[in-house]
Structure 1
Amino acid sequence: MALSGQRVVVIGGSSGMGLATARAAARAGAEVTIASSDEGRVAAALAELPDACEGAVVDTRDEEAVAALFARVGELDHVVFTAGDAVRPQPLADLSLEAARQLLEVRFWGTVATVKYAAPRIRPGGSIALTSGTVSVRPVAGAALASGAASATEGLARGLAVELAPIRVNAVRPGAIRTPLWDPVPEPQRAALFSALADQTLTRSIGEAEQIAAAHLYLMENAFVTGTVLTVDGGALLAGSR
């Protein structure tokens, strides 16, 4: 198997894209550790992953907790960061500066903390994959901070690819993906929203978490890819130019 004997750590691996990536990496033979801030979700995720997988409850806003996680894991081969909470569109004018800072704590600064403590433990040939989003390229009203965080993550990936070489660093840029982050939207509004989002793609579809997992596996396995932002959006960015 492609990842046999390799250790993969997925931050945000208890649900959605992270859980799908953990599942795919385990199927490829990797020893997988998932980490999330929600103890219940970690337990539920481990129940559906192979017995050899491990889990940890870690708040990426807590630098000491992140450091302790990687000290416990020890040497590893690949790190995938998919952690992020649901962000409600809100104009910057309606946010206090403190609230604005909090919106970037997990998605950007959690990424920075993860890389800081993971990189020294990554074995030769290993990689780091971050997560941005198409909002980095096509902002929407009320999501300026999300756009800024996604753009910063992509810039961080490119900078780290140079700084940490030969460790490979890439980012996955998902479009609209069906994950539990959409669960707060009640039916039938959610179905209508998915239909509208699908109409904005070239494939006329919503992405699935397993398709993001496939992108992460590609980035782990292809030793000649670094400093790249891999867009997985069903052609949504191109559809807007038609």
Structure 2
Amino acid sequence: MSFSCSTSKERSLAKRRLLDRHNETIKLLENGDHSGAMTGLSDIVSAWRNLVRQDLLCDPEAANTVQTTPMTTKSVDPFMTTKSQFLSQSHSTNDCDDESFYLYETCIRFPCDFDPNYYESSLVSCVIVFNLALAHQLAAHGKKSDTLGVSPTRHLLVRAFHLYDLCFKLSCTSQSLQRSVLYRLAVANNLGVLCLTLRSNSISVNYFEYVLTTLMVMTTHGSQGKLMKRHKAALEGFFANVIRFRICGDKAAPAA
């Protein structure tokens, strides 16, 4: 069966429609429908991958040409929001179970004027996959009332781990994501909490150490002043997790 290429404009419109669909789908997650969000976001990941593949097939020079084009963004951070009411966990360091740790559970949306080029495909993938990982983690933790009553399962947590891990690796290696500091902090933080739930404290320590090191660099060099002011609540949550983990040690694990 022959493959017929769509025009660049048609592919651009298809991408915009998919990003709008993504923004609508994460409303399910925000309303506690974890199952619906997981299904919808999984479909969107596949659809986005197909659109990127079409770019490669229909415009093989896109990857080379776009690198000479000024970038509109090299970070997921401008898409992220932090509100104090999302700090659902206490910042007290007295509790050592995983439920007392702060989880960054704010979905990431695409701005309505965001028109990604091929070079920014990794950025789009990171946003969608992060929300998909969050849907799995929230479903497992049961942090919000789920219409299907999803109970905590190891399968959901392991799936969330692999999705977050993909996000972290992409954000560290992709040139188009080189300034996604808050994004990497959120992913590392959620991975640390997730590993506690899986009773993998030896792995959690690596992620919390990354969080601590990054926060120290930000504070010492003062290069992220705007980010620190805008996302103060989240950064405080990340730091509280590091302190709690250091205090609790081996006790930082979910109750049996």
TM-score norm. by structure 2 comes to: 0.29
TM-score norm. by structure 1 comes to: 0.30
Structure ranking higher in strand proportion: 1
Which of 1 and 2 has higher RCO (CA within 8 Å, sep 6+)?
Answer: 2
Structure ranking higher in helix proportion: 2
